[in-house]
Amino acid sequence: MKIVEVVITPIAVPDVPLANTKGVHPSVFLRAVIEVKTDNGLVGLGEAYGAVRTLTGLQAAALMLAGLDPYDRRDLRKRVEAALPNSGGVNAPTALADHKVVDVVYSAYEIACLDLVGKDVNRPLYDLLGGAARKTIPFGGYLFYKFEKQDLTFGPDIMGEVMTPDALVEQAKEFRARYGFQSWKLKGGVLPPDQEVETMLKLREAFPDHGLRIDPMGAWTVPTALKVVEQLDGVLEYLEDPCRGMDAMAELSAQIDMPLATNLVVVEFEEVIEAVKKNAVQIVLSDHHYWRGATGAIHLGEVCRAANLGVSMHSNSHLGISLAAMCHVAAATPNLTYDCDTHYPWSTKEIIKGGRPTFVDGTLQVPNGPGLGVELDHDAVAELHELYNLAMVQDRDDTDEMLKYVPDYVRKVPRW
């Protein structure tokens, strides 16, 4: 089996103004849909970030993949590295962490190759990763403070403005009714810390048995984070990235018992070692989009097990191919003991046949078909590619978008 063609289709997906410490989501989010075709008629699917740096990297690497055996992941890595020497990071300057273009591009193509291998041997992708530790995958509801969407050109709003603790609790109740989530993660760093503490306490009152987390994305200084930890002692299962940078996280960790998690200060394997030496975090968030694909995410789980670190799963705005890959990785990571993050309820579109999967009590069943177990809906992809051409957005800039809602906004991290 050899690769004969790679098709990359950039798409734009309607988004809503979800707020974070560096701004707010634009009116669309960008994805790249990948089809890797082989000489025996199989097609492997992948879904990646769609911003310009990733898209350019995917296109450059695609030129090197003709003749590749999808079973040979080491050859895949060599070809991607050869195509992208000194390629830098994928994220826009306003992002708080960056990921290597070569890792993100490799990750995208590895998923497509694993999909091909699974189809070739008629086995689900989780079997290629060592087998399923679980087939029912729990997800947590991802809660956001948000503005009411101003520009409805590219799609409708969801839930309107949510900028108070009480409104946020109502958002959680609506998500609970729709999806049955058993835990909540709040994207913090938006309101003053006392209001976000009030939000978490009101969530605890409304949902006494739900796991709770908050992620301020580095918005707090160490003294501020210490005050929040004191107020939320016994309320949170973990606190994610309260402070910016490894050393600030280590300084906080040395003074508290509450577990700290991250997807900002540990995004490379070398950083796991540094984090352990400094005792900066106790939980690392996995993500196959930048931890060198599904096999890299599984390897991260093993490294964390050896280092006595917990494992959770990160999310970005995504559709069904990525969601399927997340489920397979979660299935094959035995020590992934926290509910996975997902932005999925904040979109209404889908690009896989059969439409949007249904959450039951906050869980999804890992697909059992060969490979990823999903098929591409080409009409849906064409519709979102047309939107990509219409929207003319090439990168994500939450800070610039925020100026539409708060004209005097100034990005500052940490803010409090």
CA nearest to 295, candidates 57, 126, 84: 126
Q: Coil, strand, or helix at residue 395?
A: coil
In DSSP notation, 110-152 reads HHHHHHHHHHHHT-BHHHHTT--S-SEEEB-EEEE-BPPPS--
Say whether 2 is catalytic.
no
Count CB neighbours of 83 within 10 A: 19
Helix spans in 259-366 (H): 269-278, 293-306, 320-331
Decide: 104 and 57 in contact? Cβ < 8 Å: yes
Task: Let me know if 314 is a catalytic residue.
Answer: yes
Q: How far apart are CA 126 and CA 333, in angstroms?
A: 9
Number of Cβ within 10 Å of residue 277's Cβ equals 10
Cis peptide before 138 (omega within 30 of 0): no
* Residues 6 or more apart in contact with residue 123 via CB below 8 angstroms: 370
Structure tokens at 81: 């590295």
Separation between Cα atoms, residue 359 and residue 137, nearest integer Å:
10
Catalytic-labelled residue, pool 99, 187, 318, 343: 187
Q: On the CB side of 373, how many CA atoms lie within 13 Å of its CA?
A: 18
Which candidate in 314, 318, 328, 343 is catalytic?
314
Q: How many Å apart are CA 32 and CA 62, to the nearest integer?
A: 13
Rounded to whole angstroms, how far apart are CA atoms 399 and 309? 33
Tokens 């959680």 belong to which residue?
172
Q: Which residues participate in catalysis according to the annotation?
A: 187, 314
